[in-house]
Amino acid sequence: MNNENFVENQPHLDKQTTSEETTHFGFKTVAKSEKQKLVENVFNSVAGKYDLMNDLLSFGIHRIWKRFTIDCSGVRKGHKVLDLAGGTGDFTAKFSRIVGNTGEVVLADINAAMLEVGREKLRNLGIVGNVNYVQANAEELPFADNTFDCVVISFGLRNVTDKDKALRSMLRVLKPGGRLLVLEFSKPILDPLSKAYNFYSFNILPKIGEAVVNDGESYRYLAESIRMHPEQDILKEMMEEVGFEQVSYYNLSAGIVALHRGYKF
């Protein structure tokens, strides 16, 4: 079957296409109990060259997407920020400078290998003092209610097994008036771009992964996981259903990436 036609026919809302016991791992249907380990294996494989691959695969544009996210965060001196699924700490590095000595940034990731890469990277940058590191599952965040002024999850929500549960957990740990920012790959809004993007994702991206990290299959999974992630309007509805208010989103790079923002009141 042609990859392009296949991905165009894939649903974007996994909670409507799986049972209570199963979920998606890319285009595969797997037991929910298995997905976390399968995702862990992917990121164990790519952790060491994660930043390099981000630059290669996005042609450096991911830096612009992240800068826009920071501009939309409202974070200021003294705030407490959760960088969830924060990986190698790009957001943590920026936010630590913004919140200053009176604030705090928590870099949290479920994957120990990614968290260790992030810790080493930030220490090498001289970022210490107002940053803490926590290995945590987004579905069951180990923080008290009303802890953070801002929660950011960047390119991580699509890998979560139970997205509704994770969104409720993020809402719980936010302070009243706090905001959630979800930066994630999404659905291109231009048809010609969508076709070109599909070709790149399934024909070029795995080959780059094979050449750089000797693992084309992990990058094929990442491409598949993007196609199975809820598209813009559906994710907006999911955020509203769990209790976020004034939810909106911005299409970046014509919808290749979307930034969703919601508030807790």
Mind listing the domains of the chain with CATH numbers? 24-264 (3.40.50.150)
Annotated binding residue at 154? yes
The C-alpha torsion from 160 through 236 and 28 to 50, rounded to 10°, is -50
For the cut 60, the answer to whether the pLDDT of residue 19 exceeds it is: no
pLDDT attached to residue 3: 42
Q: Is 138 annotated as a binding residue?
A: yes
User: Is residue 137 annotated as involved in ligand binding?
Assistant: yes
Residue 29 labelled as part of a binding site:
no
Greater confidence (44 vs 242) lies with 242
Whether the per-residue pLDDT at 179 is higher than 70: the answer is yes
Per-residue pLDDT, 16: 42
Instruction: Report the Cα–Cα distance between both ends of the chain, in Å, rounded.
Output: 48
How would you classify the pairing of strands 104-109 and 257-263? unpaired
Distance between CA atoms of 154 and 185, rounded to whole angstroms? Answer: 9
| Cα distance between residue 54 and residue 48, in whole Å | 12
Is the pLDDT at 63 greater than 50? The verdict is: yes
Residue 127's pLDDT band (cuts 50, 70, 90): very high
